[in-house]
Amino acid sequence: MNNPFEIVYSQPFYILISIVIFFLLFIPLITISEFLFFEPFLVFSIYPETILSFSLIIILSIFSSLAVSLNLYRVKLIKETRKIGSSIIGTVFGASAGACSCGPIAFSIITAFGTAGSIATSFLTIYEIPIRLTSIGILGLVIFITTKSLSRECKVKS
Amino acid sequence: MVDAKKIAIAGAAVALVTIVTIFASSYMSDFENTRSSTQDNSETYELKHAPVLGSKTATVTIMEIGDYQCHMCKLWFEKTRPLIIENYIDTGKVNLVFIDMPFLGSDSGPASEATYCADDQGKYWEYHSALFDYQQEIDDGWAGATRLQAIALNLDLDIEQFDKCMITDDHYSRVSFNMQTAKKDFGANSTPTFIIINTSGNAEKIVGAHPYSTFEKIINSML
Mean pLDDT throughout B19-42? 47
The most confident of A33-47, A61-75, A76-90, B2-16, by mean pLDDT? A33-47
pLDDT at A25: 87
User: Who wins on pLDDT, B171 or B47?
Assistant: B171
CA distance B129 to B120: 16
Residue A86's pLDDT band, with cuts at 50, 70 and 90, is low
Residue B195 phi/psi, 5-degree rounding, is -115, 120
pLDDT in tens, A144-153: 888 888 877 6
Total domains, chain B? 1
Q: Is residue B26 part of a domain?
A: no
pLDDT at A149: 80
The one-character DSSP state at B88 is I
Q: What is the mean pLDDT of chain B?
A: 84
Give percent above pLDDT 70 in chain B. Answer: 78
Closest CA in chain B for residue A23: B20
Lowest mean pLDDT among A82-96, B51-65, B127-141: A82-96
Q: Is residue B2 part of a domain?
A: no
Of B15, B71, B103, the CB nearest to A107: B103
Q: Which of B172, B101, B102, B108 is nearest to B140 (CA)?
A: B108
Give percent above pLDDT 90 in chain A. Answer: 22
Taking the CA of residue B170 and the nearest CA in chain A, the distance in Å comes to 24
- Write the DSSP assignment of B181-205 as a string of letters: IIIIIS---SSSEEEEEETT--EEE
Enter the pTM of the model: 0.80
Lowest mean pLDDT among A87-96, A111-120, B37-46, B68-77: B37-46
Cβ neighbours, 10 Å, residue A99: 24
Contact B54, B95 (CB under 8 A): yes
Cα distance from N-terminal residue to C-terminal residue, chain A: 10
pLDDT at B44: 42
Please judge whether B13 and A91 are an interchain contact, meaning their C-beta atoms are less than 8 angstroms apart: no
Contact B72, A34 (CB under 8 A): yes
* Interface contact B136, partner A, CB < 8 A: no
Residue A99's pLDDT band, with cuts at 50, 70 and 90, is low
Element housing A64 (H / E): helix A51-78
Query: Which chain A positions have a beta carbon within 8 Å of B24's beta carbon?
Result: 27-28, 31-32
Q: Chain B, 104-123: which have a CB under 8 Å from a chain A CB?
A: 104-106
pLDDT at A75: 80
Query: Which CATH number fits the domain that encloses residue B99?
Result: 3.40.30.10
SS3 A6: helix
CA distance B79 to B36: 29
pLDDT at B13: 58
pLDDT in tens, A15-29: 999 999 999 989 988
Q: Is residue B12 part of a domain?
A: no
Mean pLDDT throughout B155-177? 92
Note the ipTM here.
Answer: 0.78
Mean pLDDT throughout B136-162? 94
Please judge whether B23 and A105 are an interchain contact, meaning their C-beta atoms are less than 8 angstroms apart: yes
* Interface contact A103, partner B, CB < 8 A: yes
CA distance B161 to B132: 23
Taking the CA of residue A24 and the nearest CA in chain B, the distance in Å comes to 8
Of A39, A88, A110, the CB nearest to B16: A88
User: Who wins on pLDDT, A122 or B136?
Assistant: B136
pLDDT in tens, A44-63: 999 998 899 899 999 989 99
User: Number of C-alpha atoms within 13 angstroms, CB side, residue B33?
Assistant: 13
CA distance A33 to B25: 14
User: Who wins on pLDDT, B45 or B216?
Assistant: B216
Residue B32's pLDDT band, with cuts at 50, 70 and 90, is very low
Please judge whether B27 and A39 are an interchain contact, meaning their C-beta atoms are less than 8 angstroms apart: no
Q: Is residue B60 part of a domain?
A: yes
Q: Name every residue whose Cβ is closer than 8 Å to that of residue B103 and which is 6 or more positions away in sequence.
A: A107, A110, A111, B67, B179, B191
Query: Which chain A positions have a beta carbon within 8 Å of B190's beta carbon?
Result: 102-104, 106-107
Per the structure, the complete domain to which residue B52 belongs is given by 42-222
pLDDT at B35: 41
Return left, alpha or beta for A77; rule: phi > 0 is left, psi -120 to 50 is alpha, else beta: alpha
Mean pLDDT throughout B78-104? 95
Mean pLDDT throughout A63-89? 75
Mean pLDDT throughout B9-26? 56
Please judge whether B104 and A110 are an interchain contact, meaning their C-beta atoms are less than 8 angstroms apart: yes
pLDDT at A18: 93
